[in-house]
């Protein structure tokens, strides 16, 4: 009935089985049987598990999983699983890794595995004195927090410190308490949220105010992952020699450091690598992305997460620093079988090691992007894979894909109408 208005108020949708939901959605969206069957194919994620991980499940969304080679992190060779739908991302990491492999690869560190939970109190009559009342109760706060999570405590984690900020806002003065908690091998959102909620009534008692929000901050700046690498001039070569590539990359960095319009794209490229590993290991991509972008704006103007300099010997030195709240436990990390396999591939036996490897990936990704941008341009490298996507969109199948894609690249015009014409020529021949 094409003219019947569609109704999104579907009573009891959440109580249906995935098959019932698929049928309901198919009716709503006019899906044919083949589309519904494809939705029902949950690939390497058990349908029952998918149905427990999130709400209203109708299927799963498969994303290609690639493995980056050539990476050496803190003297150890490592293969890096990356889940992404974007072409050239995995290749970029392999290329950057190869060009600094002989000179030692990436050196990394992590500032700690500390997370921050915030408790927002409003309507406090004497915020500065209340701040001191909270700080004076550090021992009581530690007892409440550590009492929430004996497992974490047993693993050497738990409460580390309390800080209180008096914040001026459009709605008046607020008193913001920060709980600093070592969450060890967990990302820690649930762990610290529980502590903040448990402590909130005490904060109301001590301040005389009213507590509203009790939640972690994704600006995880007590969990900074850092990576550094040196690319020798003879390894980066390229058009005009190593000096030109080096200077082009440094100039590209300086552009990003000075201009938020450029920095947004510069950092997006970094997150191409970072988010792909975060996703492959079942971690929370949004948490890491929010942390990275907030950290990039920490000085009041959005800027680059990486830096490039010239060493005293004239080589290119690159570094990165960004919050990296990832875990080996919690969320989907332990539940998704592919995430578990990815953790085995990358060989990370601690959240710290995983965070450090991911920082190296972010730097590698950025190096390759800047090198391409500063020399041949990004499109040349992208084109071969992009042309294949366009060929498939034009209807090419099997061997036709490669043949159509090659012709598009040769003609220098990668467009769907051209791909359709090439495909017709090919089939007509």
- Residue 171 to residue 111: CA distance in whole angstroms: 35
* Secondary structure element (H or E) that encloses residue 122, with its range: strand 114-122
Catalytic one of 149, 185, 284, 352:
284
Which one of residues 189, 256, 278, 326 is an interface residue with ligand NAD (CB under 6 A)? 189
Residue 352 makes contact with ligand NAD by CB under 6 A: no
Question: Sign of dihedral through CA atoms 198, 201, 205, 209?
Answer: positive
State the minimum distance, in angstroms, from the CB of residue 403 to ligand NAD.
44
Quick one: CA torsion of 268, 274, 275, 280, rounded to 10 degrees? Answer: 160
User: Of 399, 359, 413, 410, which Cα lies nearest the Cα of 109?
Assistant: 359
Q: What does the block give as tokens for 337?
A: 């079988």
Q: Give yes or no for residue 269 binding ligand NAD (CB under 6 A).
A: no
Which of 247/289 has CB closer to ligand NAD?
Answer: 289
Nearer to ligand NAD, 190 or 340 (CB): 190
Single out the residue of 248, 318, 331, 362 in contact with ligand NAD (rule: CB under 6 A). 331
Q: Does 284 bind ligand NAD (CB under 6 A)?
A: yes
Region 206-245 residues binding ligand NAD, contact defined as CB under 6 A: 216, 218
183 binds ligand NAD (CB under 6 A): yes
Which of 235, 329, 378, 385 touches ligand NAD by CB under 6 A? 329
From the list 268, 309, 380, 425, the catalytic residue is 268
Structure tokens at 282: 């079942």
CB 335 within 8 A of CB 202: no
| Structural tokens at position 14 | 């959440």
Q: Active site residue: 382, 386, 400, 402, which one? A: 382
Q: 136: which residues sit within 8 A by CB, 6+ positions away?
A: none
To the nearest 10 degrees (0 to 180), the angle between helices 416-428 and 399-411 is: 120
The radius of gyration of the chain's CA atoms, rounded to the nearest angstrom, is: 26
Q: Is 281 in the site for ligand NAD (CB under 6 A)?
A: no
Q: Is residue 144 close enough to count as binding ligand NAD by CB under 6 A?
A: no
Phi-psi sector, 380: left (phi>0), alpha (psi -120 to 50), beta: alpha
Catalytic annotation on 41?
A: no
The residue within the footprint of ligand NAD, chosen from 45, 50, 134, 185 (CB under 6 A), is: 185
Tokens read off for 239? 């058009």
Q: Interface residues for ligand NAD in 382-421 (CB under 6 A)?
A: none
Which 3 state secondary structure label does DSSP give 59? coil
Question: Segment near ligand NAD (CB under 6 A), from 162-170, 247-255, 306-314, 329-337?
Answer: 329-337
Residue 86 is a catalytic residue = yes
382 catalytically annotated:
yes
Q: Identify the DSSP state of 31.
A: -
**The total number of residues written for the chain in this structure:** 429
CB of 267 to ligand NAD, least distance (A): 19
Whether 233 and 315 have beta carbons less than 8 Å apart is answered as: yes
> Which of residues 29, 135, 151, 297 is near ligand NAD by CB under 6 A?
151
Q: How far is the CB of 221 from ligand NAD (least distance, A)?
A: 14
- Cβ-contact 342, 354 below 8 angstroms: no
The residue with tokens 């008046």 is 172
Q: Does 164 bind ligand NAD (CB under 6 A)?
A: no
- Binding status of residue 152 toward ligand NAD by CB under 6 A: yes
Nearer to ligand NAD, 187 or 363 (CB): 187
Instruction: Tell me the three state secondary structure of residue 319.
Output: strand
Q: Does 321 bind ligand NAD (CB under 6 A)?
A: no
If the CB atoms of residues 285 and 420 are measured against ligand NAD, the closer one turns out to be 285
Going by C-alpha positions, the residue among 258, 276, 259 that lies closest to residue 365 is: 276
323 binds ligand NAD (CB under 6 A): no
Report, as residue numbers or ranges, the catalytic residues: 86, 268, 284, 382
- Residues in contact with ligand NAD by CB under 6 A are 149, 151-152, 155, 157, 183-191, 216, 218, 284, 287, 327, 329-331
């Amino acid at each position: 009935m094409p003219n019947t208005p569609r109704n999104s108020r579907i009573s009891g949708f959440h109580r249906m089985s995935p098959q019932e939901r698929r049928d309901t959605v198919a009716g709503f969206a006019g899906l044919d049987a083949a589309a519904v069957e494809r939705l029902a194919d949950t690939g390497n994620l058990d349908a029952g598990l998918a149905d427990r991980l999130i709400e209203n499940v109708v299927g799963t969304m498969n994303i290609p999983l690639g493995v980056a080679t050539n990476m050496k992190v803190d003297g150890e060779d490592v293969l890096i699983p990356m889940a992404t739908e974007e072409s050239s991302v995995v290749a970029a990491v392999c290329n950057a890794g190869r060009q600094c492999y002989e000179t030692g690869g990436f050196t990394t560190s992590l500032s700690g595995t500390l997370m921050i939970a915030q408790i927002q109190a409003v309507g406090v009559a004497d915020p500065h004195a209340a701040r001191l009342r909270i700080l004076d109760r550090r021992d009581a706060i530690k007892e409440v927090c550590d009492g929430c999570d004996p497992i974490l405590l047993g693993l050497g984690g738990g409460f580390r410190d309390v800080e209180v900020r008096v914040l001026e806002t459009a709605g008046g003065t607020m008193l913001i308490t920060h709980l600093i908690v070592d969450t060890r091998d967990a990302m820690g959102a649930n762990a610290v949220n529980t502590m903040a909620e448990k402590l909130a009534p005490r904060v109301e008692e001590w301040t005389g105010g009213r507590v509203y929000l009790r939640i972690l901050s994704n600006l995880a700046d007590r969990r900074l992952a850092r990576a550094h690498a040196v690319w020798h001039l003879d390894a980066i070569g390229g058009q005009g020699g190593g000096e030109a590539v080096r200077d082009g990359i440094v100039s590209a960095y300086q552009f990003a450091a000075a201009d938020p319009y450029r920095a947004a794209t510069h950092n997006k490229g970094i997150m191409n690598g970072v988010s792909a590993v975060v996703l492959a290991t079942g971690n929370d991509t949004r948490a890491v992305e929010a942390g990275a972008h907030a950290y990039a704006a920490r000085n009041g103007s959005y800027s680059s997460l990486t830096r490039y300099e010239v060493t005293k010997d004239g080589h290119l030195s690159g570094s990165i620093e960004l919050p990296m709240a990832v875990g080996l436990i919690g969320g989907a990390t332990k539940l998704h079988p592919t995430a578990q396999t990815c953790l085995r591939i990358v060989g990370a036996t601690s959240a710290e090691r995983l965070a450090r490897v991911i920082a190296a990936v972010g730097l590698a990704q950025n190096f390759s992007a800047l090198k391409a941008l500063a020399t041949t341009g990004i499109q040349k490298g992208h084109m071969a894979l992009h042309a294949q996507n366009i060929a498939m969109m034009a209807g090419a199948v099997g061997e036709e894909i490669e043949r159509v894609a090659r012709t598009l690249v040769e003609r220098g015009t990668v467009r769907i109408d051209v791909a359709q014409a090439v495909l017709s020529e090919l089939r007509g021949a």
